[in-house]
Structure 1
Amino acid sequence: MHDLVIFDCDGVLVDSEMIAQQVIVDRLAPCGLVLSTRQSADLFVGGTIQSASEEATRLGAELPADWVPETYSAIFEALRDNTPLIANVVDLLDQLDRRGLQYCVASNGPLAKMEITLGQNGLWQRFEGRRWSAHDVGHAKPHPGLFLHAARAMNAELEACIVIEDSASGVKAAAAAGMRCLGFAAHCDGANLRALGAEVFHDMADVPALLAMHGS
């Protein structure tokens, strides 16, 4: 029986990942690191901009001191009024409400970013009091602390939580927290997520059946 569904934000609630990755690609090229958006996604999706800067530096980029805050600003601007919802996610939330199953969002991104992406789609208010950011909690995925914090805040038992994630770091965090994880693979076969222990699915419309399989 599940007590709580924990959603990641980018790539799970809103289709924002490739928008953000294009900004990162554009801002890394002048610093000596040329990547495609697919390469950028493989390297950076699921992390923070700080962790992206550290990995980019390791790969040879020479980043200015203000690269992290300026990249956040550029991503926020690119996402503003231009971030669609993931298909069928609102219907999924409606079904969770009808079942009386509580849910929340836990993201490595800052709340300011969630306010932009969720706000333009009506979900910011819907998740009122149920929004958690690694920037505030102090632990970013793949550390389990963000999910553990969400479970405590929502008064849910760890083994009764289910996480919906689209990144390797998120799947690892769920596993470390002792939580069941559904791996959302909208544009690929999800083999990387499956290899880490996630139950892979490809459409938010599939989630109610996956929950029902476990008696929720």
Structure 2
Amino acid sequence: MTGLVIFDCDGVLVNSERVANEVLVANLGRHGLTVTIEDSEKMFVGGTMTGVYRTALDMGATLPDDWIPLIYREIFDRLAQGVEPMPGVHDLLDTLEARDIPYCVASNGPVEKMRITLGQTGLWDRFERHMVSAYTHGVAKPDPGLFLQAAVPFGVAPEHCLVIEDSHNGVLAASRAGMRCLALVPAGEAPALTALGAHVIRHMNEVPAHLGR
């Protein structure tokens, strides 16, 4: 029986991945590195901005030492213009509350970013008291520590946690933590995520069927 549901943020709670990658691609282009949106999504989704910075430098980008706070400001400004919750998120949270199943969010992104995206989608109030960020906890996916830390306040063992993710790093972290994982992939195939042990879903309305397992 599921005792806790742990959500990733970008691409799971809010439809923000594409927007952030558009900003990132444009920025890297100005710093001498040309990548496509698809390349950016494959290389960077689910990681940390520190990882993006190091990879971009290795690929030939000329980035200033203060690039990370600068790119975050660009992304935050763009996200503040509007993002949407992922379809079915609010209905799923209502279902979890009706069944007395607690939930939280665990993200590699900073709390400030979640405040922007969750704040404008009616989700901030639902998650504010129960969120962990790699920037405040000092550990990032694919390390399992972020998910394990998220479960501590609830006293729920890993085997009774259900993670909802959309990235390779997130699914790998869930697997390493010993937690079941649903991979939200609205379109396309995800053999790499399936190979890591995740069950692929297309919409949040599929989640309740997995709560009792």
- TM over 0.5, shorter chain: yes
Which whole-Å CA distance do the structure 1 matches of 2:123 and 2:30 have between them? Answer: 36
User: How far 1:89 moved relative to its partner?
Assistant: 0.8
Listed as ranges, the gaps of 5+ residues in structure 1 are none
Q: Which moved more, 1:76-85 or 1:6-15?
A: 76-85
Amino acid in the other structure paired with 1:169: N
Q: Is 1:69 aligned with 2:69?
A: yes
Within-5 A mapping of 1:1-216? 1-212=1-212, 214=213
User: How far 1:51 moved relative to its partner?
Assistant: 0.8
Which whole-Å CA distance do the structure 2 matches of 1:185 and 1:87 have between them? Answer: 12
What SS does the aligned partner of 1:200 have? strand
Which whole-Å CA distance do the structure 2 matches of 1:58 and 1:144 have between them? Answer: 26
Which whole-Å CA distance do the structure 2 matches of 1:112 and 1:71 have between them? Answer: 13
Aligned residues: 213
Q: Which moved more, 1:165-174 or 1:193-202?
A: 193-202
What SS does the aligned partner of 2:187 have? coil
Amino acid in the other structure paired with 1:55: T
1:37-81, CA deviations, whole angstroms, 9 ceiling, x for partnerless residues?
111000000011111111111112121111111000001001014
What SS does the aligned partner of 1:209 have? helix
Q: Which moved more, 1:159-168 or 1:186-195?
A: 186-195
Amino acid in the other structure paired with 1:35: V
1:140-159, CA deviations, whole angstroms, 9 ceiling, x for partnerless residues?
00011110100112221111
What SS does the aligned partner of 2:211 have? helix
Q: Which moved more, 1:26-35 or 1:184-193?
A: 184-193
User: How far 1:210 moved relative to its partner?
Assistant: 2.2
Amino acid in the other structure paired with 2:151: A
What SS does the aligned partner of 1:5 have? strand
- Contact 1:46–1:170 (Cα < 8 Å) also in 2: yes
Which whole-Å CA distance do the structure 1 matches of 2:126 and 2:81 have between them? Answer: 18
User: How far 1:191 moved relative to its partner?
Assistant: 1.8
1:154-179, CA deviations, whole angstroms, 9 ceiling, x for partnerless residues?
22111111100000000010011111
Which whole-Å CA distance do the structure 2 matches of 1:191 and 1:210 have between them? Answer: 20
Amino acid in the other structure paired with 1:31: H
- Contact 1:184–1:190 (Cα < 8 Å) also in 2: no
Q: After TM superposition, where is structure 1 displaced by more than 3 Å over at least 4 residues in a row?
A: none
1:21-45, CA deviations, whole angstroms, 9 ceiling, x for partnerless residues?
0111011012121111111000000
Which whole-Å CA distance do the structure 2 matches of 1:23 and 1:154 have between them? Answer: 36
Which whole-Å CA distance do the structure 2 matches of 1:118 and 1:191 have between them? Answer: 29
Q: Root-mean-square deviation (CA), in Å?
A: 0.9
User: How far 1:211 moved relative to its partner?
Assistant: 2.0
Amino acid in the other structure paired with 1:18: R
User: How far 1:128 moved relative to its partner?
Assistant: 2.6
Amino acid in the other structure paired with 1:99: R
- Contact 1:81–1:120 (Cα < 8 Å) also in 2: no
TM-score calculated relative to the size of structure 1: 0.96
